Chains A and B, each alone.
Chain A
Amino acid sequence: MTDTTSGLTTSDGRPLKAALLAAQSKARRRAFLLVAPLLLFVILTFILPIAYMLQRSFENDGFSDSAPQLAAWFAEHPDGSEITEGAYAALVADLATMQANKTPGQAGTRINYTVPGTISLFKAAARKAEDLTPPYKEALIALDADWAAPKLWAAMRSASTSYSADFYRVAIDQKRGEAGDWARGAERERIYIYLFVKTFILSAIITLSCLLLAFPIAHLLATLPMAKSSLLMILVLLPFWTSLLVRTTSWIVLLQQQGVVNNILVALGLIGDDGRLVMINNQTGTIVAMTHVLLPFMVLPLYSVMKTIPPSYARAARSLGATSWTTFRRVYLPQTLPGIAAGSLLVFILAVGYYITPALVGGADGQLISNMISFHMNKSNWSLAAALAAILLVAILILYWLYDRLVGIDRLKFG
């Protein structure tokens, strides 16, 4: 056989490949037009906000904008140079401009990210900036000794350009030492890494409890006759259709110390009246309520996979001599793996980013990293919130990648 594939032509002499491309291009354009609205929507509401968030996690011009003269001084004097009278003079001039433009708060906030307590320092100095006379170094230090602190100057140098990685350092619990260099914060100040770890552990626990609860339900759903399984399905989906507040309130009613569950346990004599369990406004509350909320996301993929497994497999295994346990372990369970994988991934990722339920029933120690992100957003600490969110995003992407390597994304089955 001669190799003719590359030289094939249509009957009128055009190369086959070109003819095929031309024939397909119209169909492709049509397909693109069909998805274009969705694409636009996704870009506007998903890609752009995430890109903006990522940018915010590096960029903050709160200080660099309002302190141009100091920024110029920093640009001329490389890191490590002595802070001279010239620097103080530039600072005082900038403080005066800030006072005129009403921006000392904004500048202070930026510095405050890395050196706490600086907002008031900036506001106070800006108010008096007009009245200060040279030498400015002594004058400022006389106003407040903190103006001599090396870590303040290190922070101002870093903030004098609009881009920096400061917020990421803060987000992994680093802190400027007295000399201005980065170091791990004191034990009791390290909150973010702990929260990240806790978020992942709690999410794993929630995923596991969802799986344990959902597996039998999904199996029942897949094997019951249609009429009964529809009813059961409605019960499973009920959490979706119930208002979040109603759901949360009922959890509080059930789980609080004078609540239904505790009362029953006391009535049964399982626990003493003085030993009532604390099950709400703590981690237990977060786990219980989130398991409830996320259960349908586990049930549905499992159900859709189990429904496609004909009962004849189990029968075949039994007739071949397997006990019911072996049949489950060797034949049924492996076939449900795509559902388990999909459900677990879905629930885990949702749980990692969940915020309302822990905020409502988590109390102090049931808070997740999203609650911290929301806290910083409410305080207008946008950059720190963005850095925390970006770390969360990257962590999830890494997990997703690992998952793809281990399980294979193409094996997922969501429905």
Chain B
Amino acid sequence: MTVEPRSDAFVAFEHVQKSYDGISLVVKDLNLAIGKGEFLTMLGPSGSGKTTCLMMLAGFETATHGEIRLDGRPINQVPPHKRGIGMVFQNYALFPHMTVGENLSFPLEVRGMQKPERETKVKRALDMVQMGAFINRRPAQLSGGQQQRIALARALVFDPKLVLMDEPLGALDKQLREHMQFEIKHLHESLGITVVYVTHDQGEALTMSDRVAVFNDGKIQQLAPPADLYERPENSFVAQFIGENNKLQGTVEEMGANKCIVRLDSGELIDATPVNVTGKGAKTLVSIRPERVEFKPEMMPPGAHTIDAEVMEFIYMGDLFRTRLKVAGSEEFVIKSRNTAGQRMLKPGEKIKIGWAPQDARALDPM
């Protein structure tokens, strides 16, 4: 799915294609418009072309076809050092032979800035990431999280309008990562910069971004705010990739405007919202989030189709109950229920009926 680039976009990819070997396309017809001050995340499995897109934007790879514009200006021919884009690398790429202060003053020096001005800027950038005390250390004398902050400060010290980050938190442990996510988000908001962020981690993408571009196979599968992405995936790839998801294979039996009825391969009928199906008789994959499945009849919308299920496993997770069911021949169907007062704990072997509101089941393209 693509969004037509807006003419006022701060960063615009227009019909960008990229091939490294002349045989296969790594990026296929990319159209993407990023607004000023936006935090856009590129999310996708390994090898889907995220880094390649970032490198084309930074100027380290050339687009095989198409145009990339920055602030309305085509930048295909502009060398990387004239683009004025800040960049944070996965391994930080702090210069090992320079101190933290020298690392930060490097971009200012190459811009010909005078020493007093440099010093104030370096100090300000270090204070911004709470690393003022480390100005004379070498990168090797810093912990991973500290190096990360310095890399961030270095990418911001010369006041770039656009900052690119390629899996900047990939090497950190979970706790530090969550803390840094918060800090990056905070910096983004306080500085008003535009950020293009690349990650593998969907949690990271969902918590930090204004919009997420889900990449697969060199194409943007969906470009949407995090909530839309989770609740209204537009195709099976996105539904599978983001969050936990139950899938049921079937054929469209009846097609309405907002509702369709799908006959599963095992014969049962279920309700769904047509999203990505052509019409009656089309093969489809219905996707339902585990927390939207109901097993108590009083909670289901009137007239909803229900199907039989058998409890295979019940897992007590504290705030949640996670129950694995056998549904339509598959044992991988999962439901999640909140641990509210009076919530039922299902027992393995129990036979129940499950159902859902049609808008919670999305009939998508078959995989």
Contacts and interface: CB of A to CB of B under 8 A. Distances in A.
B107 interface: yes
Name the residue in A318, A324, A334 with the highest tally of chain B Cβ atoms < 10 Å from its Cβ: A318
Interface in A379-403: none
B91 interface: yes
B314 interface: no
Nearest to A323: B81
A315 B93 contact: yes
Interface in B70-108: 79-87, 89-91, 93-97, 106-107
Interface string A170-214: 000000000000000000000000000000000000000000000
Contacts of A320: 81, 86-87, 106-107, 110, 154-155, 158
**Secondary structure dominating the interface of A:** helix
Nearest to B106: A320
Interface in A299-334: 310, 312-313, 315-324, 326, 330-331, 334
Contacts of B155: 319-320
A318 B82 CA distance: 9
Contact of B60 (A315, A326, A331, A337): A315
A335 interface: yes
B76 to A, nearest CB: 16
Interface residues of B, number: 28
A324 B60 CA distance: 12
B95 A313 contact: yes
Interface residues of A, number: 19
A335 B97 contact: yes
A317 B97 contact: no
B111 interface: yes
Contact of A321 (B60, B93, B97, B107): B107
Contacts of B239: none
A321 B111 contact: yes
A319 B80 contact: yes
Contacts of B154: 320
Contact of B158 (A310, A321, A323, A330): A321
B58 interface: yes
A337 B96 CA distance: 12
Given A315-B60, A330-B106, A335-B96, A321 B91 contact: no
Contact of B110 (A310, A321, A337): A321
A312 B111 contact: no
Contacts of A326: 110
Contacts of A331: 95
Contacts of B89: 312, 315-316
B118 to A, nearest CB: 13
B93 A322 contact: no
A33 B184 CA distance: 56
B81 A318 contact: yes
Nearest to B60: A315
A330 B95 CA distance: 10
B106 A322 contact: yes
Interface of B: 58-60, 79-87, 89-91, 93-97, 106-107, 110-111, 154-155, 158, 164
Q: Shortest 8 CB-CB distances between A and B: which pairs?
A: A320-B107, A316-B93, A319-B87, A312-B93, A318-B80, A322-B110, A334-B97, A321-B110
Interface of A: 310, 312-313, 315-324, 326, 330-331, 334-335, 337
18 contacts: A310-B91, A310-B93, A315-B87, A316-B87, A316-B93, A316-B94, A318-B59, A318-B80, A319-B59, A319-B86, A320-B86, A320-B106, A320-B110, A321-B82, A321-B84, A322-B107, A330-B106, A337-B97
